[in-house]
Amino acid sequence: MGNPIGLVANNTAHSNTRFGLRLFHLYSRKYPCDPIQNKSDPDDPWADNPSIQNTYYNFTIYKNMEDGVLAEETGNVVFENFTIAESWRSGIEFYRSNYTKEPPVLKNSAIIGVTTTNPHHNNINYTLPQGMSAIWTGRSGPTKIDRVNIYNYPAGSVVLKTCSHCDDPKFYTNRGSDIFVSGVSLTNILGQYLFMVGNGIKR
């Protein structure tokens, strides 16, 4: 959780019952046993315990029954050069990310909703569009999406979905989140571009 893991690279994950890659708690910092913030410092509460970046690089992830990637409670983590395809629920999902000053980042990556040349197997259709999204951002904390190419999301799907699980009353939150998006390209998108969830209101 607090100790850095550095670089994790060159992995493939596919056909899992739930997730291709799942991070439970990863917000590494200089002093892993100390509090993540000094809330008495209004100018920079992160200054006393700065984060240490972790990087996941060059992953190929496809045909997973929930998310390609689930980042549950994360901070300064970079997901770079990912190729994610045919995730039943979401290509990548962030849950909470308010643990370091720097947000988790997905960059230089591709997310594919439906492929045309990769046949289904195990009698499972991995491309049902209902609720399928490319990116599902967190319910608290910032997220950064930089230079991501998104392809082939059919009618009934969503490209960018906000506030993970906020439409479930059990997970109600009144905390805000920021999404920083740059250099995103969209190809063959027939579904919604944006689906916002906040305080139980979908718009």
Looking at residue 141, its pLDDT comes to: 87
Task: Measure the N-to-C terminal CA separation of the chain; round to a whole number of Å.
Answer: 35
> How does pLDDT run across 60-108, given as a tens digit for each residue?
999 998 999 999 999 999 999 999 999 988 999 999 998 999 999 999 9
Per residue, what are the HEC states of the chain? CCCCCCEEEEEEEECCCCEEEEEEEECCECCCCCCCCCCCCCCCCCCCCCECCEEEEEEEEECCCCEEEEEEEECCEEEEEEEEECCCCEEEEEEECCCCCCCCEEEEEEEECCCCCCCCCCCCCCCCCCCCEEEECCCECCEEEEEEEEEEECCCCEEEECCCCCCCHHHCCCCCCCEEEECCEEEEECCEEEECEECCEEC
On average, the pLDDT of the chain sits at 86
pLDDT for residue 185 is more than 80:
yes
The pLDDT score that the predictor gives to residue 138 is 86
Please check the confidence at residue 57 and state whether its pLDDT lies above 60.
yes
Of 116 and 91, the one with more pLDDT? 91
Ranked by mean pLDDT, the top range of 37-51, 108-122, 126-140 is 37-51
Greater confidence (194 vs 54) lies with: 54
Confidence of residue 155 (pLDDT cuts 50, 70, 90): confident
Question: Per mean pLDDT, which range of 7-21, 23-37, 123-137, 183-197 is the poorest?
Answer: 123-137
153 - beta bridge partners?
Answer: 189
Max CA-CA distance within the chain?
Answer: 56
pLDDT-derived band at 52, boundaries 50, 70, 90: very high
* Tokens of residue 182, six digits: 């740059």
Confidence label for 191 from pLDDT (cuts 50, 70 and 90): confident
Rounded Cα gap, residues 79 and 117, in angstroms:
26
Which distant-in-sequence residues (6+ apart) come within 8 Å of 170 by Cβ? none
pLDDT of 27: 94
Taking the C-alpha atoms of residue 197 and residue 49, their distance in angstroms, rounded to an integer, is: 33
